[in-house]
Amino acid sequence: MDQRLAGLPVRALRLLRATREAIQQQRADEADQLLARAQTWAGGHPEYLRLLGVTRHLQGRPQEAVDVLRRGLEIAPGDALLLMNLGTALRATGDLRAATVALRRACELAPEHAPAWYNLGRALAQDARSGEALDAYERALQLDPAHGGALIGYGDAQRTLGRIDQAAAAYREALKQPNTTRAWVRLANMRTIRFSAEESAWLERLYAAKTLPEADRISIGFAYAKSLEDQRRPIDALSVLNTVNASKRRQLHWDAPAHSAITESILRAFSSPPATAAPKEMGREVIFIVSLPRSGSTLTEQILASHPQVEGANELSDLEIVIEAESRRTGRPFPAWVAQATPEDWRRLGQDYLDRTQRWRRDRPIFTDKALSNWRLIGAAMAMLPGARVVNCRRDPVETCFSCYRQLFAQGHAYTYDVDELASFWRDYDRAMRFWHARYPHRIRDQVLEELVQDPEAQTRGLLDFCGLPFDAACLRFHETPRNVRTVSAAQVRQPLQASGGHAARYGDLLSPLRAALGTR
């Protein structure tokens, strides 16, 4: 007898067992229907509530999952599986601290349960606690050496900590297990790692397999294109990229004209800088780093984080969260409420941001916020935090957009899978940054990647001077700085700067459609 189903009538047992199977196969709608049928006989049972919570999570309704799972824990407070499921649902809501508490408790109650340690690792990693995450993944792998997810998570933690060879080894070990296609993408995204001839041949066979699910074909395709680049076969690589980007784009919603309209509405709302009650030095602790992906932002943050006064916080969501909270409070979307915001409102929002980010100033007085999409929010950020600085990382637009096109992102960035939409997004960004520069000329610095590569010392000195920091030679040895780097550029910033012609030059006229869309030659 399954002890988790103890006390239930036979008809409920059958329905909940079928629900478990549906959940295992990711068939959330089927699980929902089975649970509806079982509710009469099992609605107050903790296992019913657990399965309902997991189903809500699978349906993309994590807050509902949290509420249901907490009801289950009121009935069975020491249930490790309920706690584990609660922790994963809390992680999906963004409440990482509560998620970690629940998952640690699950691990205490069931120390031999590898999935609990794996999920704890995921929560810790998302909360930028990579060392602790590594320990959790190691414990999961001690219990289950073939746990593919834990192997990938272990590799991610090693990559974040700068241990590139160990990360690559973990990904390659994960590929020996079923359902670990995403490990190929992890390897491909570490641009410093070359695929072996054997791996390239394996990728070619996988990509050609007729039975490969579409999601896996997309992942394999991006990795396969990287292997073709390694073999200097740009025509074949671009052909694969075009195919998999088109497939990925069909899975996503993106409205380029709507994004351009929103960008324009933001610029209109800040046509004149709003009055603020925030003191002019408020926010001097903050360096915002903005850009499009693949434009040198991780490198810039690594240089700054090599300074003894600067903490590199990676990509933070706090500014956007503060803005969204104000939109909920006013009942109007951003930027519709900007005209009605009082000087005291801006000061209050700035203080909220500083309170939220206090953890990044525990050891060092200044921190970087590298949420790239903050380029849309610079007007608000300057009203909230007049003392903050903004570093805008620029790169040749063709190189920027093509690097995005070569990248399968874990989430977001839906505009990167179509050449015309990429170009439209770049134009929105470029227009906005020129607008902000005109209004805040002394608070924004363009950090051009090509210029940084050409003259590292002069550019680094200029960057530090802009940020009000004394020169420190450690910033020139940024690749030696041990810290967490959570972006796909983690491997690249562990190496010294190297002059490169970029990837676009290797493709020549093959990229004419992109150049035409951007209006460049």
Q: Is the pLDDT of residue 483 over 60?
A: no
d(CA 204, CA 109): 45
Spell out the residues 6+ positions from residue 404 whose beta carbon is closer than 8 angstroms to its own: 292, 293, 294, 413, 416, 422
Return the pLDDT at 128. 82
Q: How confident is the model at residue 63 (pLDDT cuts 50, 70, 90)?
A: very high
Return the pLDDT at 486. 53
Return the pLDDT at 73. 97
Return the pLDDT at 392. 97
Tens-digit pLDDT profile for residues 227-253: 999 888 999 999 999 999 999 999 999
- Of 279, 301, 303, 276, nearest to 288 by C-alpha is 301
3-state secondary structure of 81: helix
Q: How confident is the model at residue 179 (pLDDT cuts 50, 70, 90)?
A: confident
Tens-digit pLDDT profile for residues 353-378: 999 999 999 999 999 999 989 999 99
Return the pLDDT at 181. 87
Query: What is the 8-class DSSP label of residue 315?
Result: S
Which one has a higher pLDDT value, 512 or 410?
Answer: 512
Q: Which conformational region is residue 331 in: left (phi greater than 0), alpha (psi within -120 to 50 degrees), or beta?
A: left
Paired residues of 288 in beta bridges: 369, 390
- Of 436, 304, 424, nearest to 370 by C-alpha is 304
Which one has a higher pLDDT value, 318 or 494?
Answer: 318
Angle at 199 between CA 194 and CA 202, to 5 degrees: 150
Q: Is the pLDDT of residue 1 over 50?
A: no
Instruction: Determine contact, residues 57/26, Cβ cutoff 8 Å.
Output: no
Return the pLDDT at 225. 94
Residue 187's φ and ψ, nearest 5 degrees, are -65, -45
For the chain, percent of residues with pLDDT exceeding 90: 81
Residue 366's φ and ψ, nearest 5 degrees, are -125, 145
Q: How confident is the model at residue 487 (pLDDT cuts 50, 70, 90)?
A: low
Return the pLDDT at 475. 94
Residue ranges of E strands in 285-341: 286-290, 310-312
Give the residue ranges of DSSP H helices in 279-317: 297-305
Instruction: Determine contact, residues 437/382, Cβ cutoff 8 Å.
Output: no
Q: How confident is the model at residue 485 (pLDDT cuts 50, 70, 90)?
A: low
CB atoms within 10 A of CB 25: 10
